[in-house]
Amino acid sequence: MSYLDTTADVYRQAAQEPQVGLCCTTNPVWQLPGLRIPQRMLSMNYGCGSTVNPRDLTGSPTVLYVGVGGGMELLQFAYFSRRPGAVIGVDVVPEMLDASRANMLEAEAQNEWFSPDFVDLRAGDALHLPVPDASVDVAAQNCLFNIFKLDDLKRALQETYRVLKPHGRLVMSDPTCEQPLSEELRADERLRALCLTGSLPLQQYLDLITSVGFGTVEVRARRAYRVLSPRHYATDELIYIESVEVCAIKDPMPADGPCIFTGRTAIYYGSDELFDDQKGHVLLQNQPLAVCDKTAAALLALGRDDIFVSPSTYHYDGGGCC
């Protein structure tokens, strides 16, 4: 039995009997006017962050969500795209699809604006998405890709890149870990299924995303997630795990490499009205400008005493140099 079979078994049980906090921390839920989330959906919230952001969802986009859970984020996406088939939910576990369908009926009873036909639930998996090329505006997954081993993770990223339209967005939330995990931990299939031991260092995670072609990546949030203690796990030291929310955009790859935003800001405070680096970046006098890591490095390399570049905050909310 492969580690993916073990994962399917874990979530088959979680579909049949909701387990609050099974693998992931309970997260704040969007409070939107007229949106009511059934209690069973909340109990089946198996994510480690949120992939629902209004700025990704203008114009009633077609959304693909992989790993449906109890359907909470499917319902949240449908809130922004209120038309039949606008949200496609894909899951490899039949019991999870059944649970999500039942939850959609309860959501219909509690939300007068919602119809279950807004959500198209399909059997399939992240490695073989049952969706045509360039057919969705937004693809999302919450605490799923961290379960994959490296070859499968790259395949899943390639699949989502394939199904996105040009300039489409892949929005993800996954655990990351900067400390090395022992081979014993990484080989534990159940712990991997529980979103604990498949965590990668953030830079490796970002490198994999850009390696499949995404030209722009936004690190939107980074927060505390879990601690693995030697008291309970096969580790000699305390291991700290964070969750990260990332948006990867299917922009053309720049000739000098991807633009990765990690929450850095540049401020010009010289004597002129502005600073123009002649590469498309204009810094107005004492006006903060969000910059990607590549631009931040180029500005710092100038060695000027009138440009400040902040460290990465790992919080980015749009705008900036690119």
Q: What tens digit of pLDDT does each residue of 54-77 get? A: 999 999 999 999 999 899 999 999
* Residue 240 pLDDT greater than 60, yes or no: yes
pLDDT at residue number 42: 87
Q: Cα-Cα-Cα-Cα dihedral of 127, 131, 136, 141, to 10°?
A: -30
pLDDT at residue number 270: 96
Q: Tell me how far CA of residue 46 lies from CA of 93, 182, 313, in angstroms.
A: 14, 25, 26
Distance (Å, rounded) from C-alpha 291 to C-alpha 268?
A: 12
Percent above pLDDT 70 for the chain: 96
Distance (Å, rounded) from C-alpha 84 to C-alpha 101?
A: 15
What are the counts of helices (DSSP H) followed by strands (DSSP E) for the chain?
9, 13
Percent above pLDDT 90 for the chain: 81
pLDDT at residue number 47: 81
pLDDT at residue number 11: 83
Sign of the CA dihedral running 237, 242, 248, 253: negative
pTM: 0.94
Q: Tell me how far CA of residue 302 lies from CA of 243, 260, 278, 290, 298, in angstroms.
A: 34, 20, 13, 18, 7
What pLDDT, in 10s, does the model give residues 153-192? 999 999 999 999 999 999 999 999 999 999 999 999 999 9
* Residue 25 pLDDT greater than 60, yes or no: no
The pairing of strands 274-276 and 282-284 is: antiparallel
Q: How many residues does the chain have?
A: 322
Give the pLDDT band of residue 136 (cuts 50, 70, 90): very high
* Residue 9 pLDDT greater than 90, yes or no: no
Across 26-30, 135-139, 207-211, 243-247, least confident range: 26-30
What pLDDT, in 10s, does the model give residues 273-289? 999 999 889 999 999 99
pLDDT at residue number 1: 61
Distance (Å, rounded) from C-alpha 221 to C-alpha 49?
A: 9
What pLDDT, in 10s, does the model give residues 104-134? 999 999 999 999 999 999 999 999 999 999 9
What pLDDT, in 10s, does the model give residues 299-313? 999 999 999 999 999
* Residue 152 pLDDT greater than 80, yes or no: yes
pLDDT at residue number 8: 87
pLDDT at residue number 18: 67
Residue of 188, 209, 207, 212 whose CA lies nearest to 198: 188
